[in-house]
Amino acid sequence: MEIPEEDRDRYGFFRPTDEVFQAWEETKRIAEALRARIVVFQCPASFGPSDEHKDNMSAFFGEIDRGHLTFAWEPRGEWKDGEIEALYRELDLVHCLDPFKRLPVYGDFAHFRLHGIGGYRYKHTDEDPSQLMEWCRQFDEVYCFFNNISMWESASEFRQLVDSR
């Protein structure tokens, strides 16, 4: 669907607009059809810790019907641990992140999205799976998603390590 230029400011950034809430309802419908447990909200680096963005998040997550879904939020940009932890607690979110860049500050489980140190072209070293395993051991439940150019190889190597223990 093409969004007309004059309407683009009504989308994204958790703005409390009809368009954003309609997009959530469609996302929820799809997540339920797939029997998903978790929905990840990924924000661009331009979604920084402004009062407007925090207010938008509070309005959005306070109004929508979650159903049985758990929400993970992957912030980007210059968020400080204290301010994102406060939002996670207030809005009942799980911290979604790449642990090689930052460690989680809040959540009942870990949701790791491994982009790679320095970007998507990163190839994990021989030591990286062991380090990842150490971080995973701190949680009862962990989701690891490799999102780099060698994601298949990275995930396979990590799976071998998990299976060997």
What is the pTM assigned to this prediction?
Answer: 0.87
Best CA proximity match to 19, nearest among 1, 41, 37: 1
**Residue 122 or 72, more confident:** 72
The answer on pLDDT for 1 being more than 80 is no
Q: How far apart are CA 107 and CA 112, in angstroms?
A: 12
Q: What is residue 109's predicted lDDT score, i.e. its pLDDT?
A: 92
Which range has the worst mean pLDDT, 1-5, 11-15, 17-21, 100-104? 1-5
Which range has the worst mean pLDDT, 42-46, 52-56, 60-64? 42-46
The string of pLDDT tens digits covering residues 58-71 is: 999 999 999 999 99
DSSP assignment of 5-26 equals GGGGGGSSTT--SHHHHHHHHH
Q: How far apart are CA 95 and CA 74, in angstroms?
A: 6
In the chain, where the domains are located: 1-93, 98-165
Q: What is residue 113's predicted lDDT score, i.e. its pLDDT?
A: 92
The string of pLDDT tens digits covering residues 91-140 is: 999 999 999 988 998 888 999 999 878 777 888 888 999 999 999 999 99
The percent of residues above 70 in pLDDT, for the chain, comes to 100
Q: What is residue 107's predicted lDDT score, i.e. its pLDDT?
A: 83
**Residue 5 or 21, more confident:** 21
β 38-42/70-74 pair status: parallel
